[in-house]
Amino acid sequence: MTLTRADLWSLEEYAARRPEFRAQAIAHKKSRNVALGPHATLYFEDQLTMQYQIQEMLRVERIFEVAEIEEELASYNPLIPDGGNWKATFMIEYGDIEERKVALATMGGIEQTVWVKVAEDGEKIFAITNEDMDRTRDEKAAAVHFMRFELPATDIANLQSGASLFMGIDHASLLGSYEVIAEQRAALLADLA
């Protein structure tokens, strides 16, 4: 389901609702973040996370013109899952700027190696990445990538029946495989309705 202008509050109304809505969005996001090791995280998006993002953009930029609001909706609606997929922001995170620059210089193509898998013996489903633009140049990776994981109906059914969920990276720089905890799995399962 995509967002429309009818789903958004005016700047004045959002100012009044912001503390409560911000707290709701932050709590909601906690179960939607999956760490893939100490330096990489998948932030899974949905209608609520995108509504929050759009409302914040409108607030910060003081956007109230209809055409500009429609531009924001057009930018963020593609990040809302459609019932057969997950959409995520993949971030490579280092606290030290210099360490991050050095690390990113060795991670070209890392976004192509991020995967999800249903059940331990399941097939890896690699992310479809950066559909808006290419973010890797030469051997250097960007710190932020946008991803979509298309799940086959059999995997969705298996998840709904209780199958475990794994995620990982096959790139040598951040190689790893992780089982998704129950709270995160439940939050992501809600996207597959």
What's the mean per-residue pLDDT of the chain? 93
* CATH number for the domain that contains residue 131: 2.60.40
Query: What integer pLDDT is reported at residue 133 of this predicted model?
Result: 54
Rounded to whole angstroms, the Cα distance separating 124 from 166 reads 9
Same domain, 60 and 127: no
pLDDT tens readout for residues 85-116 = 999 999 999 999 999 999 999 999 999 999 99
Rounded to whole angstroms, the Cα distance separating 61 from 40 reads 29
Whether residue 125 sits in one domain with residue 155: yes
- In the predicted structure, residue 132 carries a pLDDT above the cut 80: no
Co-location of 96 and 159 in the same domain:
yes
Q: Which residue did the predictor score with more confidence, 66 or 134? A: 66
How does 23-49 read in b/e, with b if 16+ C-beta sit within 10 Å? eebeeebebbebebeebbbbbbbbbbb
Residue 149: which pLDDT band, with cuts at 50, 70 and 90? Answer: very high
124 and 158 co-located in one domain: yes
Among residues 6, 123, 117, the alpha carbon closest in space to that of 69 is found at: 6
- The pLDDT assigned to 170 comes to 97
- Smallest CA-to-CA distance from 33 within 92, 88, 93, 111 is with 88
Q: What would the two tokens of residue 135 be?
A: 């973010």
Using alpha carbons only, give the angle 7, 43, 122 rounded to the nearest 5 degrees.
115
Q: What is the pLDDT averaged over residues 36-48? A: 96
Kindly state whether residues 60 and 87 are assigned to the same domain.
no
108 and 53 in a common domain? no
CA distance 154 to 164: 13
Which tens digit of pLDDT belongs to each residue from 53-93? 999 999 999 999 999 999 999 999 999 999 999 999 999 99
Same domain, 156 and 100: yes
pLDDT at 134 > cutoff 60? no
Say if residue 189 is in the same domain as residue 173: yes
Of the chain, the percentage scoring pLDDT greater than 70 comes to: 96
d(CA 25, CA 93): 21
Radius of gyration of the chain from its Cα atoms, rounded to whole angstroms: 18
Range of the domain at 133: 31-46+81-193
Examine the domain organization and report whether 95 and 155 are in the same domain: yes
Tens of pLDDT, residue by residue over 157-179, are 999 999 999 999 999 999 999 99
**Other Cβ atoms closer than 10 A to 109:** 12
Q: How many domains does the chain fold into? A: 2
85 and 166 inside one domain: yes
**176 and 154 part of one domain:** yes
Kindly report the length of the chain.
Answer: 193
Assess whether 69 and 130 both reside in one domain. Answer: no
